[in-house]
Amino acid sequence: MEQLFVIKIGGNVIDDPQKLEGFLRSFASVKGKKILVHGGGKIATKIGTGLGIEPNYHQGRRITDDKTIDLVTMVYGGLVNKKIVASLQALGNNSIGLTGADANVIRAVKRPVKEIDFGWVGDIPRHSINTSFLVSLFSQDITPVFAALTHDNQGHILNTNADTIASQLAVSLSGAFDVRLIYCFEKKGVLMDVEDDHSVIGRIDHALYQQLLTEKKLFEGIIPKIDNAFDAINSGVREVLIGDSSDLLANTTKDTTGTLIIY
C-alpha cells in the first residue's frame, strides 16, 4: 500500500515562531501523502486573557465554556490554521485548512458530564471520519491541515484533543494506506532517563513496553502517549513515531532518530 504520514505538532512548536518555521520547512519537504494536525498552544490563552476570558483547566485539560469555544474556534481554526496554510503555500506545499466540520470530515460527540463538566469538548467515536473526502484531496495533491476542532452534527463546534484527532485520522485511513503516525514534541523520543536526552529508546514493542512498565523505567508523563500509540497500532496503524519536531525528516525514513512504536 502507498504510504501516508499523519503528523501532529505540539504546542511547544506553535508557540515558537522560529521552531514553527523550521518545522514547516521540513513538513513541506516530506514526499508523498501527508496530513498535519495542530492545536493552538498558548496563543488562545494569551488572546483570551486580553479579551477577559480566563483559562480554566482540570488536570491539564481545558474546560470549554460558551466564550471559550468561540475563542478557540477563532484562534485554532482561524489565526493559527490559516497562518500555517499560508506558510505551506509559500513553501510550495498546496494545502487546505480544515476543522472537523468542513465537509463533515470529523463528527464527534460532546463529552458526557461526570465529575466534571468539560463544556464544549468533543470525543470522537470510531468510524466517524469522512475518509472518502480525504482520499479525494490526496488525489489532487492537496495536503489537509487540521485544527483541533470537530463538530457534533447539530451545529456545535467542539474542542477536541489534537493527539486524538491525529490518532483517529490515522486509524480511519489505515485500511487504504500504510500509515505512520508521528507525534512531534519537545524530546528526542521516549527516554530511558528523562534527564538524559541521549537515552532514546529506538523501538518499543508490546513486550518491551510491559517490561519497562514493570521495572518503572519510564517517566509517568510519557505513558499516556505510548498507550495512545498502542491503541492506534491495535486498530490498524502500522507504526507510531514519537520524536522531536526538528527531526521530522529523519523520522519519515527507515533511519528514525525518535522512538518507533511497533507490534
For residue 198, give the C-alpha cell: 541521549
- First-residue to last-residue Cα distance in the chain: 18
| H/E segment holding residue 135 | helix 131-139
**What are the binding residues?**
40-41, 62, 159
* Mutual angle of helices 223-234 and 206-214, in 10-degree steps: 150
Binding residue ranges for substrate:
40-41, 62, 159
Helix axes 162-173, 131-139, angle to 10 degrees: 80
| Type of residue at 80 | V
Report which of 136, 138, 164 is spatially closest to residue 150, judged by C-alpha positions. Answer: 164
Q: Report the half-sphere exposure of 94 (CA within 13 A, side-chain side).
A: 7
